[in-house]
Structure 1
Amino acid sequence: MSNSKPIKSLTSVSHETPLTLLETYPGALFFLDEAEKIVYANTSTQTMLGVSPETLVGNSFWCNVPQLVSPSLYLAVQKTKQTRAPTEVEYVSPVTQTWLHVQLSPTVRGILVQFHKMEEPLPSREAFFPDQYHVTDILESMYVGIGFLTTEGILLDINDVPLADAQIQREEVIGKPFAETPWWSSSPTSQHQLRAAIARASRGETVRFETLVHPREGMELYLEAVIIPHKDRHHSVEYLVYVGTDITERKRAEAAIHALIDALPQLVWTGRPDGYVDSYNQRWCDYTGIATEQAQGNGWLQCIHPDDQQHILALWQDAVQNGRPYEAEQRMRQSTTGAYRWFLVRATPFKDTQGTIFKWFGTCTDIHDKKRAEQQLKESRESLRVLAETVPQFVWMVRPDGAYEYRNQRLYDYIGFELEQTPSDWQRSCQFIHPEDRDRTRELWQHALETGAMFEHEERLINAQTGVYRWFLTRALPVRDEAGQIVKWVGTSTDIEEQKRTEAALRASQERVNALMNSSIIGIFVSEDSQIVDVNDTFLRMTGYTRKDLREGGINWMQITPPEYLARTVEAYQELYTRQSMTPYEKEYICKDGSHLPVLVGAILLEHHPNQSIGFVLDNSARKELEQRKDAFISMASHELKTPLTALKMQTQLARRRLERQSLQEAATALEMVEKPVKQLERLVEELLDVSKIQAGKLEYRQEMVDLGVLLREVVETMQQTHSSHTIVVRGTLHSSLMGDRDRLGQVFTNLLSNAIKYSPGAETIEMDLRASEDAVTIRVQDHGLGIPREQCDKIFDRFYRVVGPRQRAIPGLGMGLYIVAEIVKSHGGIITVESDVGKGSTFTVTFPKREDA
């Protein structure tokens, strides 16, 4: 620039230290860190500022050199920090009124700031930003304080009006926290408001508040303060603009108005230009029981009847938005009785000479008795009787000539048109009806007009907001005068979309039920208690009964159940009434011709009819026949195999003894090896025979007194000799006897120990625990082997069931042993259970009831 003096180079002079160069620089020079604190100031600063450089170091630049502070400099510092590029700025110091030229250079750890005084005439508005000059010209004629702040609240500049009020000089406040200046420091409440507002504005929010300040002793001002964040093109806040407007006269006028309002005998309230209701007289507060602070804004809605709130609020917002007088009837709750009374509420906007609303004044007049009289008058009219017979959702009225007279707001909102936009002719308004429904609607409406009969039709109407059609039931009744002439039609349209969907779902459900009931495979029956009240054709075909038998009450599940299945059937129905469902079970039905039909039966309880259940029946005769054939085959095969096996066993033993007598030991040993698989095969055949006998109910048991303690010791000794790979550990002793078959009981524990050894190939011990109580004898056999999955524990006692698993499948067996064990235990009045964890082993527990004389 032409007016700037040349600046010495700080890097090119040889034989001088950098510090010497800085000290000899003719202008004031500062080095600021990233926090804008002074790290270094040269000796020229004392000449310019009148303070020693040492007193400045370590302090905030903005708070300690008010002679240099200005908004222009603040922006230049922020720009240099952001861009990391050299910057120059010229401005007039608001304090000293001297023209300054400043160069700013970014450094590794901060900013180098060089000041130089210049000789220039004082600009007319040098204390403000250029784009603010026209604003201050306008505001000179009224009381407006304008200040510029850093985002931390440091005052960079302020206009003359607040300075004159406080009778202070600009240098007394520039560079100081704005909240600590005389205007604010005298009032802690106002000071707190300002600090909170600065914090919010620094985050990008424009903040408005009203407050009371004391610029000097004896002076009191009400201010309407606004703090506006100024943002750069990256939307970051650069600085804050404070504007404080004197509203003292307005506040005093409002106080006088409020005093007058409190003296009025009506319920009176006032509002701001934006519709914010800010005050109420004492009578309003006494009637509603709501304090002014609780009722401000939209808080007054809490005393309005819930049915009126939405409508009243909409009317009030409309009046505020358009600046029109407000009038509405609403129900307000009286605090002492809790009853609602009708009030006529009026509000008038008051405007200044420019036509700008500066206040709303409202009154509430009790019209409850008048409304009650009007209501009684309406109830006496025929039109109200007709409306009472219709569904008041979408309500409309049509004159005899077909022109619309009225549509309620719900209908307008739904079709998306205002009153003046909708077709006045009923025929043309069919555009809102689904194209497939229009012809039928026109036909029925024309018939109603010609005959005067009630109009009723289901049609689809389009929702303007979503573009989706919904089903409505539309009804219309004619209103007649005393001569019987139709004077208008009153109609309603009721949304039945959900009802239509429900009906469609019911039809679909009924179709599914019909398909199930008409099934040719599954028999379906409905029963009340033990009486069957409805069945499908398949059930009748299965059992041979007829519809006539059903109507005459001749089908009762207790009567068609054979005696041997009656206990299980009663148990199943007890489960049904307890759990609302029945686990499917096998039984037989007695058919009408006396034959027995094997079936699989299940049922559930009907939710809304606790005495009724619906069940299914599957014909199980084919499966039962297959099982009988299988059992017959097994029985026959077992008998046929037993005779040659016995002969083979005897011949093998005889040949081995002869060879031993002839000293042919090697051949005898070979024959002995043949005896093992023969014995295993013999055992399998015996188990098959046992299974066949159990299925046929022919497994015989001897009745003798068995000493369980002795029997168990014999079984353990025998198993220990034949299975040396495992040690059988017995804990406890038994001195109890049981009436039963000694061989069959021995078979139980031999099988359990054999299984324990077989399914614990990696373990070394099998544990048997013997316990007796006053009532029972308990024997536990525990292994530490492969274990059984929990979901399969209930199935292992089933015939031919084997645990599914790659390691279990490798172990030989047909799944008959545990089935036989369970049947033998059951036949002796005992129970057997199992507990198991996969990979940890299994524990089988056998419990027998104890004899009293044992």
Structure 2
Amino acid sequence: MIPGKVAMISPAHLDLVINSIAEGITVQDMRGNLIYVNEAAARLTGFKSAKELLSTPREKILEKYELLDEARRLIRAGRLPGRMVISSGKPQEEVIQFRILATGEKRWSTVKSRPVNDKQKKLKVIVNVFRDITREKVTQDQLIHKIRQQESVSLLGQKSLEGASSSKIMQFALEILSLRLPIEYSKIARMDDDGKSLLIIYGKGWRKGNIGTVREASDIYSPAGYTLKSRKPVIMNNLAEEKRFKIPAFLKDHGINSGMSVIIHGEQKPFGVLGVYSNSAVKFNRDDIYFLSQVSNIIAESIEGEKKVEEIKFQTKLINAVEEAVIATDPDGKVIFWNDYASKLYGWKMSEMKGKNLMKIIPDWEKNKTKFAMAAVRKSDSWSGEMQLLNKNGKVFTASVSDYPVMGNNGKLIGMVGVSRNISIEKRQEISLLFLERATAMMGSSLEYEKTLAEVCRLAVSEFCEWCVVDLWEDGKLRQLSVSHFRKSMVDKALIFQKQYPPNLNKTEGRLIIARSGKRIFIPEINKLMLKKYAMSAEQLKQLESFNFNSYIGIPIKYQEKTLGVLSFINTGGNRIFSRADLSIAQNVANRAGVAIENARLYNLAQEKISEKEEIEKRKDEFISIASHELKTPLTSIKAFTQILLKSVSDDEIKHKKYLTRMDQQLDKLTELINDLLDVSRIKSGVLELREEIFPLDIFVREVVEDVASIVPNNDIVVVGRTGRLIKSDKNRISQVLTNLLTNAGKYSPNGREILVRLDYSDKEVTIHVEDFGIGIAKNKINKIFQRFTRINNPKNEKSPGLGLGLYISSQIINRLGGELRVKSEPGKGSVFSFNLPTLKEKQLLLSYN
């Protein structure tokens, strides 16, 4: 390079450099004609080469496309960025869709047009830069399309839950499909009773007279028939080339080019087929099939729901004469049946309550308890308790209520039955205490309230946005709970700003309007005009601009239509702007925040209940301890006197001897119960006495089995295996545990089935298994059987004698001996109770003997 000279690139080299750029570049003169284009610009606009594009007249170029903006509005030539630069002299930018008319191909580009001036600052040429964003736009459109489909499915499901008839659900489903899929036709075809054909009962887009008359074959050679028989979806992207099926004539008559269909399931047999069709060549995909299947499932549930409602009506008629209020509802709590006694108790007749929500008889302060009960029933559990109810005259009374689920053949909930009776006289004394309890629970229900919202705010900042603000809506005012940003200095700055400029109550924008209206605000791009309108002074505007906010989403936090606060998400100039998809995500976050608040309230309420229960348990333990000790002494005296009387009665006095023998046996049982109570008291107080000694386990187990054999004469007890181990433990207590397990096995093993006692061992422990082949234990009882006062039903569905303390005492004894009592059970097949005990190591054994 020669010193003092500027390096210049040749035009050929410059053209080579520009053509290597991925962005399209064109240059226009002052009349709008192209004077330069690179190869990328030619490709992006559908031309084979830059030379072809330059040689094409401007009018012909424009005739080749349909140009649309982001709102899908047509862009005229005068609105193109280059033309706008010519008229305004200012840079322009636009997102444009190029649709090539000849092929139908669609491409998206951002077009930036910049003026180039000469030395006299007069516009010389315009430079246009095209960047292809087709892939980004397609992905964004697909995401928005999926979200809208799911919103439509949710709306359809909501209408079904609200009790809309199946016919309305089917009609609304067809409207949704027409809105969310690129189709012109849709149909619902019902299978005839003979199963030979499908009749179109609902449709959209078809010629007049087709609905209710057109039938399709239900064999595998028709698209609908194949869907019905195989239960698999069918996609036909080009009917003209379709070889799998015989296309029905009515589809050909309507010029159908593509379509898809899915089955509408039924509980006993399929109901029919749901199909959608288009005159265009639509390439349906898995997402479309998934959407169509979701709609089909809601239709099926609506149809089956109506059938089950009729069944419930019939069943509830059978209990119309019961002398208790019997009320049947659908799963949503709407009354289906109301017996005569319910009319007497509540004052409303069946005709007045039919179709009404059960909440009509629930006072406001009991609604949460009712919702809890209904939630339990919806999970297939029964619920029993006491609550206050309303009659027609507005009088409140206390009732004993039991709610039960009604299940369909498929195991799903189809209704609920509630039985209630008036217990006001019995509960009058407790009304004030119940009121205090509810008031305490309500006041304590918000203990975790603010913590929950703050956690939501921090989560949002870490994963979703740069700023998050949570305001609580209390008594018509906003109280700021949390401001989150990943930099503490920015949070401090925001807090100072808000202290200096508190919310203006007279303004009709921002968080106040969200709280007042319960409606969200979405501002994809914040401009200076918006900030200027919001600011009350030039200084406030200056500080607002310093935050560099560029995008905003404000969502009300709601629960059951009540606004609890406002959740705000903000991005700044260095971050992306929020899209419609982000808005949907933000709405979901706000919805879950509302649920989290309610969960926090319920958690605090549960904590209060736990504390109250612990106090009751403590008092119960004290009573058991005192009562059992007080009963022990007189019972011993009675036992002694009974035995003296038995010895003094002669053999001739058979009747007296019989009664005294029974008395003695009953005293033994009572003594056993009191001993159990004393053991419970000792366990709870931590003073259960254990006397350890070394003994051979195998011999000991067989001795216990021999002793128990006489107690359970209807069962054979078989000992399997041997350990050959010595253990150091309390023989009496282990005997107590093993005896309890064996006698229980006998109680719950009908027909004299055998009982197995298996012995296992390892280096560190021995395990004793007691297995019976009786009625077994239900899954929902397994976790309760080791609790105090828990009993299970015997084969005759009756409660077994006893206090339900044996397994509790046994588990506590084994725990204190260093082991664990476990159970495995299957209803109808039997149970296996197992407990392990530590064995002695050789050194410990020698020391023990010494």
Q: Same-fold call, TM > 0.5?
A: no
- Normalising by structure 2, we get a TM-score of 0.33
Asked which structure has the greater CA Rg, the reply is 1
State the structure with bigger RCO (CA 8 A, min sep 6), 1 or 2.
Answer: 2
